[in-house]
Amino acid sequence: MRPDAVVTHFLFASALILTVGHAAGWLARRLKQPYIVGQLAAGIALGPSLLGSAAPDVHTLLFPEQIDTALQGLAQFALVVFLFAVGYELDLSLLGSRARTAVGVALTAFLVPMAVGSGCALLFRDQLRALDMPHLSPGTVVFAGVALSITAVPVLTAIVRENGLAGTVPGVMAVSAAGLLDVIGWTVLAGTLLESGDGQQPAWQWRALLAAAFLALMLVAARPLLRRLLWRTRMEPLLRLSLLVGFAFGAASVTQYLGLHAICGALLAGFVCPREKGGTLDPDLLRPLHDISSLLLPFFFVVSGQAVALNSLNATGWAALAVVTVLAVTTKAGSGAVAARLGGLDRDDARTVGVLLSARGLTELIALDAGLRAGLLSGPLYTVLVLMALATTLLTQPLLMLVNHRAGRAPLRATVRTPHRPDGPSGATAPPESTTAAPGP
């Protein structure tokens, strides 16, 4: 294919992805579902499972192999910007007087699904062979646990606001615990990716040493240096934004080289980015980050959807999907509810916390994409886990309504909507001074 033809195909594919992705997100939001549900469904629909099966020639025409690299590049660009914003928003000071309870909920809601997921990977290794996983490495076992342990804080935060739970005990507890939970989850995931390796990088021991040195450098030197260079000089917002995004991509390239995936560097760059006086977020930085990532994230969903192959699932695969979905909901919601109850919340508030923690969203897809690229997942197992992420995100709102009904509360009502985040049902996001976001959907 001639270079000008490749450009033409890429531009048309981009127009299709942006239009269909955001239209599907809008439709999902109208159906009172998270924005991500529509975008993920659109990505799967444009992939080989639906469009590729129904009209293979059309799929090949729209998405020729020659534009794959460009689409993946835009997908990674969107992820780095999104996760840089997530790291910048991470604020564990919201734990307040309930810090001990939030820590207990976070640890329990991570360890129980982690143990169940890893245990099932060992127990059902014969069934995993039917999903093209002939060799069950330690990294795959740990990753199976991480896949069940993840909570998507952006979608959780939006659901909390959409249902009028912002400022309530269960709402604040769920968001705070989920922020801690994802810090734990991403740390474990980073270690898993570090150990996996691909034979083209330094040995994992050397990469671990380099990663520790890079982490120390970022935590100790990056924030004061950035504050001195970019804040005290009163640099204009656009130039500061450009330099900080460049800083995020530089950090992402380092962790990508070390085998930790670019997402780890982007999160770390956001976390060390200086805040305004009093710890508030800089709206001149945060708003364009949200706008850029919201615009471009459909590329990530389409790239993810290209790897989802529904026709590759046999009877074992569909059975695994049912089992994994049930385990993902029950272990997360059950462990979160029990821990919240033991922490002093009443029964109904504890159930609300547990249900909210079962939302996975974009955070799960990012982790699964990293696992697939690291060789920790086969194609069919990746498909099962992506569909599980979609199912658990869909189930969060109905389960929340059920808990509310059993508690005899008034029907949940949506609050006033604000400009959307890419991972939310209405896309609503908390004001900067109260937002807690972590790696998450």
User: Can you give the pLDDT at residue 432?
Assistant: 35
Taking only the tens of pLDDT, the chain with its 441 residues reads 788 889 999 999 999 999 999 999 899 888 877 777 788 788 888 888 788 878 888 988 889 889 988 998 998 898 889 888 878 876 656 555 667 888 899 899 999 999 999 999 898 888 888 888 877 788 888 888 988 988 877 677 667 766 777 667 888 788 778 777 877 887 788 777 766 654 445 566 677 788 888 888 988 888 888 888 877 667 788 888 899 999 999 999 998 887 767 877 888 888 888 887 766 778 888 889 888 988 998 898 888 777 777 777 888 889 999 999 999 999 999 999 999 999 888 888 899 999 999 888 777 888 888 888 888 888 888 889 988 988 888 888 888 888 877 766 655 544 433 334 444 433 333 333 333 333 334
Q: Which range marks the domain in which residue 373 is found? A: 70-434
Where is the domain boundary, 18, 47, 68?
Answer: 68
**Are residues 317 and 372 part of one domain?**
yes
**Are residues 79 and 18 part of one domain?**
no
**Are residues 254 and 162 part of one domain?**
yes
Q: Read off the amino acid at residue 153.
A: V
Say if residue 167 is exposed, middle or buried (CB neighbours under 10 Å; 0-12, 13-18, 19+).
exposed
Where is the domain boundary, 68, 95, 119?
Answer: 68
Domain annotation covers residue 379: yes
Q: Are 274 and 231 in contact (CB under 8 A)?
A: yes
Say if residue 218 is exposed, middle or buried (CB neighbours under 10 Å; 0-12, 13-18, 19+).
middle
Domain annotation covers residue 220: yes
**pTM for this prediction:** 0.70
**Are residues 83 and 58 part of one domain?**
no
Distance (Å, rounded) from C-alpha 431 to C-alpha 33? Answer: 21
**Are residues 100 and 36 part of one domain?**
no
Where is the domain boundary, 48, 68, 88?
Answer: 68
Residue 99 CB neighbours (<10 A): 14
Half-sphere exposure of 426 (CA within 13 A, CB side): 19
User: Can you give the pLDDT at residue 16?
Assistant: 93
Domain annotation covers residue 441: no
Say if residue 6 is exposed, middle or buried (CB neighbours under 10 Å; 0-12, 13-18, 19+).
middle
Residues in the chain: 441
Domain annotation covers residue 227: yes
**Are residues 160 and 60 part of one domain?**
no
**Are residues 370 and 386 part of one domain?**
yes
Nearest in space to 276 (alpha carbons), one of 80, 84, 89, 93: 89
Domain annotation covers residue 333: yes
Distance (Å, rounded) from C-alpha 422 to C-alpha 420? Answer: 6
Domain annotation covers residue 439: no
User: Can you give the pLDDT at residue 227?
Assistant: 83
Q: Are 332 and 109 in contact (CB under 8 A)?
A: yes
**Are residues 60 and 77 part of one domain?**
no
Q: Find the CATH number of the domain harbouring 84.
A: 1.20.1530.20
Distance (Å, rounded) from C-alpha 144 to C-alpha 365? Answer: 13
User: Can you give the pLDDT at residue 92?
Assistant: 58
Based on the structure, what is the number of domains in the chain?
2
Domain annotation covers residue 440: no
**Are residues 391 and 312 part of one domain?**
yes
Tokens of 234: 């009163």
**Are residues 153 and 10 part of one domain?**
no
Q: Are 274 and 244 in contact (CB under 8 A)?
A: no
**Are residues 134 and 15 part of one domain?**
no
**Are residues 62 and 85 part of one domain?**
no
Q: Read off the amino acid at residue 168.
A: T
User: Can you give the pLDDT at residue 418?
Assistant: 39
Beta strands in 2-109 (DSSP E): none
